[in-house]
Structure 1
Amino acid sequence: MTGFDALDLLAEIEGVGRDRRRGGYTRHVFDDAERELRDWFVERAQRLELEVTTDRNGNLWAWWGEPGPDAFVTGSHLDSVPGGGAHDGPLGVVSALAAVEQLKAAGFVPSRPLAVVVFAEEEGSRFGLACLGSRLLAGAVAPDRLQQLTDAAGQRFVDVARDASLDAPGYDAESLARIGVYVELHVEQGKGLIDLDAPVAVGSSILEHGRWRIDVHGQGNHAGTTDIADRRDPMLPAAAAVLAARRAAARRTGSRATIGRLEPVPGGTNVIASRVSAWMDVRADSEADTRDIVAEVQAAVAEAAAAEGCEASVIEESYSGEVRFDPQLRDRIATTLGGIPALPTGAGHDAGVLAAHVPTAMLFVRNPSGISHAPEEGADDDAVRAGVDALARTIEDLA
């Protein structure tokens, strides 16, 4: 059992899913790159003599010992946003494998079942619902919503899942009941650890956050022959949404609102669009602030649509309230690791979904740039090794 240093493991997968157009990586659930990473994880876990299973929702479980109740579970995800960095998700997976190898080499034997998990579709970049694998596991996706999930090519999730030999995706009470505690290691998606000059922190909370789809319908036409006065251009209300989101968030301390995706139809350079869809991500310290931001953007879109002779709608696609991780678990981990700091995050995680059901904690590893969801994302080597050591010590204490 050699070659399980976390940095070596990251190097093994650095060529998988490279995005030549965007930079970084594009790895979406059940695409070729993500399937290759799944196969890689299975092979690596089996070399550690872990038994790998796939649940009904496409989540991978690598068990140290017999699967059973009250298990210590750790892991993360292998999918990415379009053009994402190398560490968001995979760092938690490779660190879990490296920690298991480190403990096995030291002769440690867990006193409770232990599993390394890879959750499917954490980013929501293919089917539009973040943390899909963990939400399905926890019964947090309504059956009718599941039937409606489609990718950009119009493929339904339920059909893609069937092709991947998944048995009836949905609430998985058996798998959920096995989790006694879940600890997720993740690269920090911000500058908190830079400011604290610390390599590792324990998570304290996740901001309120949600996603909304904005649809504006106008009249497609010729860009060269249609007078400005005769246009019903849906791009103008969409642009109003972008500006309103920035203004609304800037007025509320700690809030963030982003429109990072626009899809005009038909999308030609010399064509006035007939329809524009935009997706807005909102995060804030309170539900009131989140809802106020959305309402402000909605009002701006409605006003701009009326002025342009367009029709507009704003539809909520997902929403999660503030998550506060188990305080006793958080404090125990912090103490075990020598009093490491606690940090909140504005990023969503599978740990945030599971926190409503089981004691859950997170470990964050320093990111020297503070940049995430972009090719410049990273984690310095010393911090990566410190993260593996922190996770191994946490397993020793809790498992």
Structure 2
Amino acid sequence: MGFEEMWAALLPVGRDDATGGYHRFAWTAPELECRAWFLDEARRRDLAVEHDANGNMFAWWFPEDGTRDGAVLTGSHLDSVPGGGAYDGPLGIVSAFAAIDGLRERGLRPARPIGIGAFAEEEGARFGVACLGSRLLCGAIDPARARALTDGGGRTFAEVMHNAGLDPEAIGPDDDLLGRIGCYIELHVEQGRALEQPVGIAGSIVPHGRWRFGFTGEGNHAGTTALADRRDPMLPFARMVIAAREAAERNGTVATVGKVDVVPGGVNAIASSVTAWLDARGPAGDAVRRTVREIDEAARVAARPHRVGVDLAEESYTESVGFDRALRDRVGATLGGPPVLPTGAGHDAGVLSARVPAAMLFVRNPTGVSHAPAEFAEPADCLAGVEALTAVLDDLARG
């Protein structure tokens, strides 16, 4: 089955017919269907399937001599943000299977294992922590904290893992698995409009993180409560949203409030609490931290006259990631010197880079839109990405 056929098979899974957006949250029915698709494609190629304790899946093509070490791993993720695009994540996995097909057509007999990884909860759309599967694998998050994470329905990560047939007590770093990986190459759709050629290479990932603001007031009747008597958390929350834009402009960063939970959520009721999630990113870590501090200060100042409590919790943060220079240069030489560009988007490759040499390939996105239905890559550019990945794996797997 070629790239086009695999892509067509995966495309309808989890798509909202009304909006065209995707809803593939970790261990929900659409994402489980994507996992089943992954396993079917692996078995169709007689690849050895491996599941780690953290919900990540791997498909391995081992050399004829049975070598298990020094593996060249590629892949991405299958989950999506709410209403996301088709390409973010799945493009890397479909391309990986197509690349293995291409290598076999070339008659390659790899000296090193070639693997395809599908990492769990990369977007953090269900449990709030991005790259959760790769963070657990690499020891970048405490397992006890991960087990206690909850989704929007109050279900814990531990409960969901248990219901999926996994042991939540077994999650955490897997040094044996990481020790078998010689390098990781992730192909991904470019999530902006900086790439003018079909394929490029990631140079670095800028610092980025997520923070949760909680505003606690007093629920009351919208029509009978005088303005002077109100403890309305929506007011300091509104100031916090404006402060995010202002602080980002001052510090040369970007800051986004894209998720809000209002309790009780009634049209005719003053809210008792508001929870809002802030995403902040920028070219330097101190600028990102300063942005968050300024937003927090503005929220607290706005909350005082309304007698509203404010609390702030950091859910995840990743400093600047510079990919392995030697590996990046080797990939670039193999591909004839494609452009190298930084990215403001986080990836499993960034997490894995702390433990194994990692690099990324980008496929051009003419819309410049990502995390939305308009996310797109031309079929010809997707095939160019497959060819690039095939060439890179061919070079790396020979020794």
TM-score under structure 1 length normalisation: 0.96
- Verify the 8 A CA contact 1:161 1:169 in the aligned structure 2: no
Q: Which of 175, 186, 208 in structure 2 is aligned with 1:173?
A: 175
SS of alignment partner, residue 171 of structure 1 = coil
Say whether residues 1:144 and 2:144 are aligned partners: yes
* Structure 2 residue runs without a partner (length 5+): none
Q: Give how far 1:158 is off.
A: 1.1
Instruction: Look up the match of 1:216.
Output: 215
Query: Matches of 2:67 and 2:241 in 1, distance apart?
Result: 48
Aligned length: 392
Residue 251 of structure 1 aligns to a residue whose secondary structure is: helix
RMSD: 1.1
Paired position in structure 2 for 1:155: 155
Question: Is it true that 1:188 corresponds to 2:187 in the alignment?
Answer: no
Deviations 1:47-93 (A, max 9, x none): 11111121111111000015722100000000000000000000000
Match of 1:116 in 2: 116
Q: How many Å apart are 1:252 and its aligned residue?
A: 2.4
- Which SS does the other structure have where 1:353 is aligned? helix
Structure 1 contact 257–280 (Cα < 8 Å) conserved:
yes
Structure 1 residue 154 displacement after superposition: 0.8
CA-CA distance at 1:21 after TM superposition: 6.2
Q: Which amino acid aligns with 1:97?
A: F
Shift in Å at residue 8 of structure 1? 2.4
Match for 1:188: what amino acid? E
Contact 2:210–2:278 (CA under 8 A) maintained in structure 1: yes
Aligned-residue offset at 1:370: 0.5
Counterparts of 1:21 and 1:144 in 2: how far apart (Å)? 39
More off after superposition, 199-208 vs 222-231:
222-231
Mapped partners of 2:16, 2:175: distance in 1: 37
Q: Name the structure 1 match of 2:24.
A: 27
TM-score by length of 2: 0.96
User: Letter of the aligned partner of 1:274 in structure 2?
Assistant: S
**CA contact 2:217–2:231 (8 Å) conserved in 1:** yes
Distance 2:69 2:355 in 1: 14
Please give the alpha-carbon distance, in whole angstroms, between the structure 1 residues aligned to 2:143 and 2:134: 15
The residue identity in structure 2 corresponding to 1:177 is G
Stretches of 4+ aligned residues off by more than 6 angstroms: none
Aligned equivalent of 2:69? 69
Task: Work out whether residues 210 and 282 of structure 1, in 8 Å CA contact, stay in contact via their aligned partners in 2.
Answer: yes
Give the equivalent residue in structure 2 for 1:324: 322
| Alignment partners' CA distance in 1, 2:19 and 2:263 | 22
CA contact 2:143–2:171 (8 Å) conserved in 1: no
Take 1:96 and 1:31, find their aligned partners in 2: how far apart are those partners? 24
Which amino acid is the alignment partner of residue 163 of structure 1?
N
How far apart in 2 are the matches of 1:175 and 1:152? 32
AA paired with 2:247? A
CA-CA distance at 1:14 after TM superposition: 1.4
> Aligned partner of 2:91: which letter?
L
Q: Which residue of 2 aligns with 1:106?
A: 106
Instruction: Say whether 1:207 aligns with 2:209.
Output: no
Structure 1 residue matching 2:31: 3-state secondary structure: helix
Q: How many angstroms apart in 2 are the aligned matches of 1:12 and 1:226?
A: 55
Residues 67, 112 of structure 2: 8 Å contact kept: no
d(CA) in 1 for partners of 2:358, 2:205: 12
Q: Report the equivalent of 2:87.
A: 87
> Does residue 15 of structure 1 match 2:12?
yes
- Give the equivalent residue in structure 1 for 2:46: 49
Q: Hey, what's the Cα distance between the residues in 2 that align with 1:103 and 1:222? A: 67
Match of 2:359 in 1: 361
Identity of aligned residues (%): 54
Distance 1:245 1:337, change over 3 A: same
* 2:251 match: secondary structure: coil
